[in-house]
A = this chain, B = another copy of it.
Amino acid sequence: MNIGEAARLSGVSAKMIRHYETQGLVTPQRLPNGYRDYAEADLAVLRFIRHARALAFPLEDVRKLLALWRDRNRASADVRQIALAHVAALESKAQAMQAMAASLRHLAAHCHGDARPDCPILDELEKSS
């Protein structure tokens, strides 16, 4: 099937499908006219990528997960290790963001938020330390 149909069926944009190909994640056949030709197996790969990306796995991780996925003899421990490392990264970033949000909320709570120029938020950003 064409890249357009593959995009529709996989939920991955044609643009990104081509990109994933340059990254070696999917390797469709080529028709004599140069068009890419996707088989069901390719579709499955694209869906796999989409799900992994929805969980914010970086493409490097997706590549590893795909390799494990294709390996019928993989050890589940390998997958788990990648997933848990990713979980840790996600949680650490999420925590950092929530900490920033909390500080800002705190500052904003002490900001009148009216027409006066007084503002603890700017005061904080202004600090020399």
Chain B residues with Cβ under 8 A from A118's Cβ?
76
Q: How many copies does the complex hold?
A: 2
Chain B residues with Cβ under 8 A from A80's Cβ?
108, 111, 113, 119, 121
Complex-state Cα separation, A7 to B69, whole angstroms = 48
- Of B76, B94, B101, which contacts A97 at CB under 8 A? B94
How many of chain A's residues touch chain B, expressed as a range?
Answer: 35 or more
- Which residue in chain B gives the minimum CB-CB distance to A119? B76
Secondary structure at chain A's binding surface: helix, strand, loop or mixed?
Answer: helix
B125 touches A108 (CB 8 A): no
Q: Tell me whether A59 is interfacial, beta carbon within 8 Å.
A: no
Q: Given that A55-B100, A98-B94, A104-B86 are known contacts, is A79 also in contact with B47, CB under 8 Å in the complex?
A: no
B56 touches A121 (CB 8 A): no
- Of B69, B87, B119, which contacts A101 at CB under 8 A? B87
Q: Given that A72-B117, A118-B76 are known contacts, is A125 also in contact with B48, CB under 8 Å in the complex?
A: yes
- Of B72, B79, B104, B117, which contacts A83 at CB under 8 A? B104
Would you list 5 pairs from A and B whose C-beta atoms are within 8 A, ordered by A residue?
Answer: A55-B103, A68-B119, A76-B111, A76-B115, A79-B119
